[in-house]
Amino acid sequence: MSTKGEAFAGVSVAITTPLKNGEVDYERFGEQIEFQVAAGTHCLCPVGTTGESPTLTHDEHDRVIAFVVEKAAGRIKVMPGTGSNSTAEALRLTKNAERAGADAALQVAPYYNKPTQQGFYEHFKILAEETGLPQCIYNIPGRTGKNIEPETIARLAELENITMVKEATGSLDQASQIINTTNLTVLSGDDSLTLPLLAIGARGVVSVVGNLVPQDMLAMVAAFESGDSVGAREWHHRLFPLCRDMLGLSTNPIPVKAAMQLVGRDTGELRLPMTPLDKSELASLRSTLVVYGLL
């Protein structure tokens, strides 16, 4: 049976926000968008965790979304992060994204203030009912401090505009319960768990390593969808060391930005409090990229 957000099945890339001398580098940003379009990526997710949304100003956040939509020009879907721990702020960001022409909105669970399950429900309900965009609930308790329980997600699934979940709890049990009790489109929020989640009924991934190797993520998902389980496993085991050894070095997006710099596609610049890899970590990353064949 088709899931609610089936139009967003496949590979979405949580795209980085390139910086140069402290400012968003829109020229390089355009190049990165064209790289993803050429690869055949299905959707871009700007200004999420990987896009350093916590350190962008509100004006920058809005401008980045408008820029990505404009550059995408309908060739690739755009699902920007518009979440906040303030419902009013999330609503403002989402309405601006809707006006800019985004295709959907990625809504991180309100963080730090740790709402009750009823608070989560009321927050996402307002976003779903007061904007016209399909909403993807982004559940990542390791960053937000609290889990959106599957029972709460099941209640939210009854709302028309709640169509997807970006599942980053690391729990196959939780993902199984969501898939078992709703018709939401579940997207993996952890690159290394994409194939296991696909095997239980997830429909795709919002990928970080897709910044580097979108075609490989696409190949793994396509192999699975075509019934080629052996091919899908081969891709999983090829990608797994890259996911483990790169993303395990430091907090996202520090390692992926460093990797983008090493392959010549980004300055690697971050905004505080994010800091670069140290020399030993950078040497480890370089070795990982050499083994994979990217250097």
Q: Which residues are catalytic, by number?
A: 138, 166
Residue 39, Cβ density class (10 Å: 0-12 exposed, 13-18 middle, ≥19 buried): middle
Angle at 114 between CA 111 and CA 116, to 5 degrees: 130
DSSP state of 210: G
Beta bridge partners of 208: none
Angle at 253 between CA 249 and CA 259, to 5 degrees: 65
Question: Using CA atoms, how far apart are residues 176 and 182, in angstroms rounded to an integer?
Answer: 10
Q: Give the strand pairing for 105-108 and 23-24.
A: unpaired
Angle at 133 between CA 63 and CA 186, to 5 degrees: 105
Question: Using CA atoms, how far apart are residues 167 and 3, in angstroms rounded to an integer?
Answer: 15
Ramachandran assignment for 106, one of left (phi > 0), alpha (psi -120 to 50 degrees), beta (any other): beta
Question: Using CA atoms, how far apart are residues 44 and 276, in angstroms rounded to an integer?
Answer: 25
Q: Would you give the end-to-end CA distance of the chain in angstroms?
A: 42
Whether residue 253 is preceded by a cis peptide bond, meaning omega within 30 degrees of 0, is: yes
Helix (H, G, I), strand (E, B) or coil at 273: coil
